[in-house]
Each structure stands twice: as structure tokens, then as C-alpha cells.
A and B are shown apart, each in its own frame.
Chain A
Amino acid sequence: MDKSMTSAAEAVADIKDGASVMLGGFGTAGMPDQLIDALIGQNVGDLVVINNNAGNGETGLAALIKAGRVRKVICSFPRQIDSHHFDAAYHAGKIELELVPQGNLAARIEAAGAGLGAIFTPTGYGTLLADGKETREIDGRSYVLEYPIHADFALIKAHRGDRWGNLVYRKTARNFGPIMAMAAKTTIAQVSEIVPLGSLDPEVVVTPGIFVQRVVAIPQASGALA
């Protein structure tokens, strides 16, 4: 079994128009920039993107939106000081937004990966973001019914991986990586290094390889990566 790919372009080659794509990252930390650059390079569009934000600055998701490839963003916090590409597309009516509270976003992604049909969450109860949704009182507390978020692909960034797809992450770049890896049909991880089997301590593997289908090494300087 060898999940390692020779290039980012090879890893994303079968992503087609209209695909749903989870992108790891919180702001720029954990954003799989090189996988996204490869996606931009292959002229695929009409994408539904799931991420915490809606792009920062000029790289990653922001570049994908700028290139006009995204039909809809499902996220918790689109409006930021450097989200100008999203803002412009949104005000021009060129992009759809589904706003989800951050914890519900995580829980719905996790539910998809865990094979759950739905979840009852207290977050959002009694607010605009729960309008029209089914609710239930359980043990005296009120909950909103929310459905899992599945995706065709997850593009995530981890620190090190092996050819079986086991992953460890770096600091707060971990964020959505582990749960998106579980939720997508095909998970593609960019890592700074692919190491031999057995070199990742099994006690500290964060994402077991069963959740990962492809691994690409994109060497980069550690530390101030943004």
C-alpha cells in the first residue's frame, strides 16, 4: 500500500466541476496552499467549499475564490479584515454563503466522519441561524437538529505523514484536519515530509491512515510559514 503521490497536481487531478471540497485551516494556519494552487491550475470550477473562513489575503482559499472557482462557501466566519476576495464576490452575487456556528461546523463534519445521521446541538437555539430547524428538549435543555456535512474531497495540511497515510500535525495548524480527513470520500494531505513506516510514534499519531487516501510531500521551512 502506497498512498504517496509525486505531485500536488497528480493528487488533485480527479477533482471535477461541482465537487464539494473541505479545506483544512483556520485563517492561514493549516491551509493547504499548494494543493489549492494545483486545483487552480487544472481549471475546475463550481466548487462547494467547506472551511472555517472564506479566505485570507491572496493565498489558499482566497486565491481559489479570486479565480472564480467557488460557487458556495459553508463557513463560520467569512468577514475578516483580509477577506476582500470573498467580500467582492459576495456583494457581486457571485458566491453563495451558508453560515454555520463554528462548533456546529466541527460537530457536523465530525458526525459525517463518524457515520451519524444527525446531531442535536444546543448551539444556535433561539437564534436566526436555527430558524425553521427542528428542535427538541432533552433533559430540560433545548437543542437544534443539525445534519452532517459530507464532502467529495478534503484537502488538508499536516506536518509529517507516512505512505499508509498516518499523520501528525503542527501546533494550531491541526484545527479541522483530523475531522475533515474522516468526513470526506477522498482525503488528500500535504505534509512537509513523508517518513518511513514506523517512524511516527503510534502513540502520537493523530490521524490514522485509514482516513487518508493520498499524501503529497511539499517541503517547506518550519516556523513562520504564513
Chain B
Amino acid sequence: MSRWSREQMAARVARDIPEGAYVNLGIGLPTKVANYLPMDREILLHSENGLLGMGPAPTPGNEDWELINAGKQPVTLLAGGAYFHHADSFAMMRGGHIDICVLGAYQVSTRGDLANWHTGEPGAIPAVGGAMDLAIGAKQTFVMMELLTRQGESKLVEACSYPLTGLRCVSRIYTDLAVFEVGVNGAKVIEMIDGLNISALNDLTGLNLCKQG
């Protein structure tokens, strides 16, 4: 049984992004999805600091520190791209104009509640950024994460124990072991890695999952 690598997870997410989609890729693991978007599809990437039509990183020496992404890394703008201010940028999100947002997570509940901004650790400086706007704003919110923590605990849970980012906002979860659909009817398994079955997945997660369809 071999887990999907982070690169394979990114490629799997990219396959589900259709031609013409406006997409926001969260900081961290989701940014890898950009490397696997099919060349024959025109997909526009949104960065919440104020650009649509984000291109790849500039070649060394061509960085412009006034052209950055939400992770504050230098990027480029594709021909046809645009700049705008923060209120417009978050209106794109909150107003439901962005088709798909891909986020990382600490935990997701089987109903689609998301926890990804704060571990609740005492003394930690809280920081939220655009996480809460992204989670509830896009037409569809995808999560990309390893299914289990390093301690082997499932990050797909009945109810999140970490502070919530948004309620019932996630529709799909891409992990290294399986892909899930989540929502009002609970979690369904769409796909699993070779060699894994539902009962083994139930043992790993402590959930009572079923296969879609």
C-alpha cells in the first residue's frame, strides 16, 4: 500500500479544476496545485492581496517586491491579468465569484466544518489572515491535507476540536490515502489508494464511512 505523495495529491486536485475556473490556492501545500494545472485549460489564479491571473515565480534577478502573492513571495502576472484593492479582492471571495478555493487544514469534520487557523495553544500569537473569508466565500472549498497527524490521529473528524475557521464550508477533501466528499450527509469516500479498503479506512479514522454511489 503506497500513499499518494504531496505531488500526486496536487496533481489529483488539479485534475478536478475545470476550464475557465477562477481559483484561489491557499498558502502551503495547496500552492503545489499550480504546477499541475493542465496546459490546455485556461484557469485563472486569484491571490487575495490583489491580483487575478497570477503567473509563476519570476526568474532569479527579476523579482519585483511590489508584485507578490498572499504568501509574500514574488510572482508574475499573465497577459490579461489584473490588479485591484483589498475590498474588491475579498468581494470576489465573499461574493461567491471565486469558483474553487483549495486550503490546508488541521481538521475537517464530516459535515464540512473547517479548522485551519489556530491550534488554540496558550501563548501562541493568533493570526487569521484571509482564512475565514476564503473558507466560506468560494463556491466550492476543497481541502488538501494528510489524513493522519504524525501521531496517527485522523484529521477528518466527527467534530473539530481546534477552533473553527468556518461552518459547513468544505465540500471535498484530498488526502494521501483517499479523496472524500463531505457535507450535510456526512463523509463519503470517492477514491482510495490501491490496497486500502473501507474497513481499513474506518479503522484509521474511527469513523463510519461509506463509498460514494
Question: Interface of A with B (CB < 8 Å)?
Answer: 26-30, 52, 56, 76-80, 86-87, 90-91, 97, 99-107, 109-110, 121-129, 169-179, 206, 223-226
Distance (whole angstroms) from the CB of B175 to the closest CB of chain A? 24
CB-based contact B66/A129 at 8 Å: no
Whether A103 touches B84, Cβ cut-off 8 Å, given contacts A87-B125, A129-B128, A223-B64, is no
Could you say which interface size class chain B belongs to?
A: 35 or more
Q: Give the residue of B48, B64, B94, B163 whose beta carbon is less than 8 angstroms from that of A171.
A: B64
Interchain CB contact (< 8 A) of B118 among A100, A103, A106, A128: A128
Stretch at the interface among B38-46, B131-139, B179-187: B131-139
B85 close to A (CB within 8 Å)? yes
Most chain A beta-carbon contacts within 10 A, residue among B67, B68, B85, B167? B85
Does the CB pair B64–A224 fall under 8 Å? yes
Complex Cα gap A28–B63 (Å):
14
A107 pairs with B132, CB closer than 8 A: no
Q: Give Cα distance in the complex from A122 to B96, angstroms.
A: 11
B residues sitting closer than 8 Å to A (CB atoms) are 47-51, 63-68, 72, 77, 83-87, 89-90, 93-94, 118, 123-133, 136-137, 163-167
Q: Are B65 and A101 in contact (CB under 8 A)?
A: no
Do the beta carbons of A77 and B50 come within 8 Å of each other?
A: no
What separation, in Å, do the CA atoms of A217 and B208 have in the docked complex? Answer: 65
State whether B132 touches A174 (Cβ < 8 A). Answer: no
Report whether B132 and A172 are in contact in the complex, using a CB–CB cutoff of 8 Å: no
Query: In the complex, what's the smallest C-beta–C-beta distance from A114 to chain B, in angstroms?
Result: 10
CB contact between B66 and one of A102, A106, A225 (< 8 Å): that residue: A225
Instruction: Name 29 interchain pairs, CB-CB below 8 A, sorted by A.
Output: A30-B66, A56-B72, A76-B127, A78-B126, A80-B72, A90-B125, A97-B125, A99-B128, A100-B128, A101-B129, A102-B133, A103-B130, A106-B85, A110-B87, A125-B136, A128-B164, A169-B83, A171-B51, A172-B51, A172-B66, A174-B50, A174-B83, A176-B86, A179-B85, A179-B87, A223-B64, A223-B66, A224-B63, A225-B66
- B68 touching A102, Cβ below 8 Å: no
Top 7 closest pairs, chain A to chain B, by CB: A103-B90, A103-B133, A226-B65, A77-B129, A79-B127, A102-B130, A106-B86
Contact check, A102 vs B90: say whether CB atoms are below 8 A apart: yes
User: Inside 8 A of B137's CB, which chain A residues have their CB?
Assistant: 103, 122-123
Considering only CB atoms, which chain A residue lies closest to B77 in the complex?
A: A171
Which residues of chain A have C-beta atoms less than 8 A from B164's C-beta?
126-128
Q: Which of A104, A128, A176, A224 contacts B163 (CB 8 A)?
A: A128
Minimum distance in angstroms from B62 CB to a CB of chain A: 9
Given the interface contacts A29-B49, A99-B127, A103-B94, does A224 sit within 8 Å of B65 by beta carbon? yes
Inter-chain contact B132/A129, CB cutoff 8 Å = yes
B94 touches A121 (CB 8 A): yes
Chain A contacts of B66 at CB under 8 A? 29-30, 170-173, 223, 225-226
Could you say which residues of chain A place their CB within 8 Å of the CB of B136?
Answer: 122-123, 125
Contacts of A27 in B (CB 8 A): 68, 72
- In the complex, are the beta carbons of A174 and B94 less than 8 A apart? no
A26 touches B131 (CB 8 A): no
Contacting B65 at CB < 8 Å: which of A87, A121, A128, A225? A225
